[in-house]
Amino acid sequence: MNTSSDFLWRLIHSLSSSEKLFFKRNFIGASSQALYIKLFNAIAIQKNYNEEAILKKFTSQLTKKNIASQKHYLLQLISDAIVEYDSRNSVGHSIYKQMLLIRVYRKKGLLAEAHSVWKKAVARARQTESYAILNLLKAEYEKMILSSSVHISYAEMHSIFKGHLITHTQYAGLISLRDIYAEVLILKRTAHFDLDNSLKEKTQALLQQVDAYSAALDTKSFWLRHYYHLSKATLLYLLNDIAASFELLQQSLKDWEKNPSFIETHGEHYIELLYMINYAGTLHGSYEYVEDVFNLSLNNQLQDKTQRANFEAVKYLALNKVYNKTARYKEVEKLVKSMKTKYRQWEPVLNADLNRTVSLSLGIASFVLEQYDDALYFTKRGALYFKEGGREEHSAVAQVLLLLIAYSLNNARIFDAQYRSTYTYFYKRKKKLPFETALVKCLRRTFYMKDVKSKIEEYKKALEVFVENKEDNVQQQSFAIFNYPGWLTSKIKRIPYRQYVEQKVKESSLA
């Protein structure tokens, strides 16, 4: 369990070798024998944090009274070091440092030098659309006007000051769209398709707000266009207008391809775009496009360790869907084998929603490959370990999938236990969906049946319920996660589900 008392241990063990070297070279110097450095080295070699062992090791120097202050000082040093290390190649940090330099020059009376740096900083801030820093630079401009100098051409300075990339009205729109987008992301974390009336009304209201900024597409601002594209595309996706959503996402990707420099500084936004292409693109049936997007050389610009982990997780989700939908099961096997070894490395830096989605995806892939023990492990992990912060609709998917896995294991003890759990879950849930009820009942009835013909009749009855409710959006989206009708049909035909999908894909290609 993570606690505040072991935070310093966790921080030190999170440092890369390069970060440790940077810290020791730039923040220790002649203090290499200082007590807080000895504390750093002692914590660094501990496999688990043990404060008592440290106190015992440094009995004459460290006590229960002074260890807290030593830890606090060490924490501040490390924090300063990693901030500076991480900011070395940050454009925003570089411009901010220029702004601080302008202030120092101005205070020292070096006005010409301050003006020279200001001109360069403003140009870089506009080029990178660093609007927050640009506002701070404008404040420095006012102070430079007050600090008069005969050596400065104020006509030139004013010309630079007035050279806006976007108008004040458009900037206000950018701020509004950014705030709307934050609401949209929170909404998407709640549900993707099982929206109640309240969520639908909120989604539609946000869409109306976004539509008011359609002029964003005609501006020079990349970020104004991005927030408009992603806000609208995500809202349309939530409202099940997949075609319109997918079109906007394609437009946004083209914009990123024209402005690749933003990937280095704002990789999280680019990854979210790819995440949405994963969802909308596969639902749209544009499998080849989705696969090509995740293999773009443009993606190699994501070099940050955390961003790379998030990208690889999203890429796995997309390719797993594409390979399963197109019955490329050899690729599925390779992908799952690779993911099982790599996922644990990425897990600590993925959010709860992505962790749960990846776990369920591994569960589904393992189930299709008839690796039932792994399927049970990953599905339970997705359902229980990442319970907080995930989409509620995922819980329903996990419950049905767990029952399918237990059914396929053909173990009465495991099946009965899972049936009770699944039944209790759906009993307590207020919203009842016909396809879930029909499938759970079908599995319960057929598990103990010996007569094959009787089983097949039960499978067909469940399929009839699916057909009766084929227009239901929640059912459609649930079937997009896993093809329950296809699985039942494979049981009727008495062939593996994998073989059934291969046959369907082959028939579709010949049609």
CA dihedral 208, 210, 212, 216 (to 10 degrees): -160
Q: Are residues 79 and 120 in the same domain?
A: no
State the pLDDT at residue 369: 96
Asked, for residue 157, whether it belongs to a domain, the answer is no
Measured distance CA(34)–CA(69) in Å, rounded: 14
Indicate which CATH number applies to the domain containing 190: 1.25.40.10
Contact 273, 256 (CB under 8 A): yes
Asked, for residue 377, whether it belongs to a domain, the answer is yes
Asked, for residue 363, whether it belongs to a domain, the answer is yes
Which structural domain range is residue 116 located in? 93-149
Q: Are residues 206 and 115 in the same domain?
A: no
Q: Residue 241 corresponds to which tokens in the numbers above?
A: 């207008």
Q: Are residues 432 and 414 in the same domain?
A: no
Asked, for residue 364, whether it belongs to a domain, the answer is yes
Closest CA to 148 of 119, 123, 115, 120: 115
Measured distance CA(49)–CA(174) in Å, rounded: 46
Q: Are residues 405 and 456 in the same domain?
A: no
Q: How many domains does the chain have?
A: 4
Q: Are residues 206 and 336 in the same domain?
A: yes
State the first-to-last Cα distance of the chain, in angstroms, to the nearest integer: 56
State the pLDDT at residue 1: 43
Q: Are residues 204 and 345 in the same domain?
A: yes
Q: Residue 178 corresponds to which tokens in the numbers above?
A: 């950014």
Q: Are residues 404 and 471 in the same domain?
A: no
Q: What is the DSSP letter of 382?
A: I
Q: Are residues 339 and 452 in the same domain?
A: no
- The Cα angle at residue 253 between residues 250 and 257, in degrees rounded to 5: 140
Q: Are residues 76 and 224 in the same domain?
A: no
Q: Are residues 102 and 47 in the same domain?
A: no
Measured distance CA(193)–CA(306) in Å, rounded: 28
Q: Are residues 247 and 290 in the same domain?
A: yes
Residue by residue, pLDDT tens for the chain (511 residues) are: 455 478 899 999 988 888 888 888 888 765 667 788 888 888 999 988 888 898 888 887 888 888 888 889 899 999 999 988 888 777 888 888 888 898 888 888 788 888 888 888 888 888 888 888 888 887 787 677 666 554 455 555 555 555 566 777 888 888 899 999 999 998 998 888 888 889 999 999 999 999 999 998 888 889 999 999 999 999 999 999 999 999 999 999 999 999 998 998 889 999 999 999 999 999 999 999 999 999 999 999 998 888 999 999 999 999 999 999 999 999 999 999 999 888 888 888 888 888 899 999 999 999 999 999 999 999 999 888 766 656 778 888 999 999 999 999 999 999 999 999 999 999 888 788 999 999 999 999 999 999 999 999 999 999 999 999 999 989 999 999 999 999 999 999 999 999 999 999 998 877 6
Record the pTM. 0.81
Mark residue 194 as left, alpha or beta (left: phi above 0; alpha: psi -120 to 50; beta: remaining). Answer: beta
Q: Are residues 205 and 351 in the same domain?
A: yes
pLDDT in tens, 461-509: 999 999 999 999 899 999 999 999 999 999 999 999 999 999 999 988 7
- The Cα angle at residue 198 between residues 192 and 203, in degrees rounded to 5: 55
> How crowded is the C-beta side of 277, counted as CA atoms within 13 Å?
29
